[in-house]
Amino acid sequence: MSAVIKRKVGRAAYKVTLDAGFTCPNIDGSKATGGCTFCDNTSFSPALRKGDPELSRQLNDGMRFYREKFNATKFLAYFQTYTNTYDSVERLKKLYDECMAHPDVVGMSIGTRPDCIDEAKLRLIQGYTREDRLVCVEYGMQTMHDQTARLVNRAHDHADTVRAVELARRFAPDVHLCLHLICGLPGETPEMVRQSIDECARLKPDSLKFHHCYVYENTQLARDWREGSYAAPELATHVGLAADCLERMPPTTAIQRLVGEISSPGVLAPQWGKSKLQIVGLITDELKRRGTYQGCRYGG
């Protein structure tokens, strides 16, 4: 992805993660309550959210951190926490404007659910695109299987994802579209994961974040895992499926991530005893062993 950023904005840019105070239709009861079973429920409480409500202060703090640590000069505003299009177009505009007005911000990334986007919001986001900016929307597709989506209380179906992708291509053609997939969701077999990968490839995102399902403290999934009704994915299974994913995605799709969270203190399982870098190394080795490469099994 750093190559995509460099190509677009002409140099390295660091993502500053922001909590703009959004909630999620899966939390506030408009679609469901309790959130997705893998989502960290402790942070649902506003009192426990760490984010500073003042967006520009968050942005400046994040930029200072990267300037001091990495000599960074340019930044992307990353609207990551919860559902970052879940509000009126007017409020979204105010928040996005606030970040994009900073002279060192060369783009933004907006994470959202596919059922929380529409023409007006996409037209707004398209309005921020420019030759030398990277403006990205990230949809949580997670799986193409509606029975899994029901099992994890996702409260939207795959038709929502297909519709959201079509809307993005139509009303935000210059926006970089990223999809997220989760490997190892409850009840899913490796074959089901490969079906979701093929469907994701058919949707041809500009980039992909491929995560493994991890069990986080204080989630429904953690309770299921403790009771033994959910088993976290094995490392070898994840490595094999990540290699399958690379083979099946279009060669033009940038791969932003091949493994989910592993080292944060709240992660209970899996405990693979390896760093993200080591796991990516294993995935690369697996492709070498197979003699394959990204896109070699993409249907087109």
Binding site for ligand SF4 (CB under 6 A): 24, 26-27, 35-36, 39, 82-83, 113, 140
Per the CB < 8 A criterion, the answer to whether 182 and 228 are in contact is: no
Residue 108 or 185: which CB sits closer to ligand SF4? 185
- Least distance in angstroms from the C-beta of 39 to ligand SF4: 3
Q: For the CB of residue 168, give the shortest distance to ligand SF4 in the complex, in Å.
A: 18
- Least CB distance from residue 153 to ligand SF4, whole Å? 8
Taking residue 288's Cβ as centre, other Cβ atoms within 10 Å add up to 11
State which residue, 82 or 128, has the beta carbon closest to ligand SF4: 82
Q: Which amino acid is at 138?
A: E
Identity (one letter) of the amino acid at 7?
Answer: R
- Minimal distance, residue 20 CB to ligand SF4, in Å: 13
User: Least distance (Å) from ligand SF4 to the CB of residue 261?
Assistant: 13
Q: Which is nearer to ligand SF4, 39 or 239 (CB)?
A: 39
Closest to ligand SF4 by CB, 26 vs 196, is: 26
Minimal distance, residue 229 CB to ligand SF4, in Å:
20
Residues sharing a CB contact under 8 Å with residue 258, sequence separation 6 or more, in sequence order: 210, 242, 245, 246, 279, 280, 283
β-pairing, 75-79 with 105-112? parallel
Q: What distances in angstroms separate CA 232 from CA 1, 213, 217, one per listed residue?
A: 28, 7, 13
User: Closer to ligand SF4 at the Cβ: 257 or 297?
Assistant: 257
CB nearer to ligand SF4: pick between 80 and 237? 80
| Minimum distance of ligand SF4 from residue 138's CB (angstroms) | 11
112/207 with CB nearer ligand SF4: 112
From the CB of 36, what's the least distance to ligand SF4, in Å? 3
Nearer to ligand SF4, 43 or 207 (CB): 43
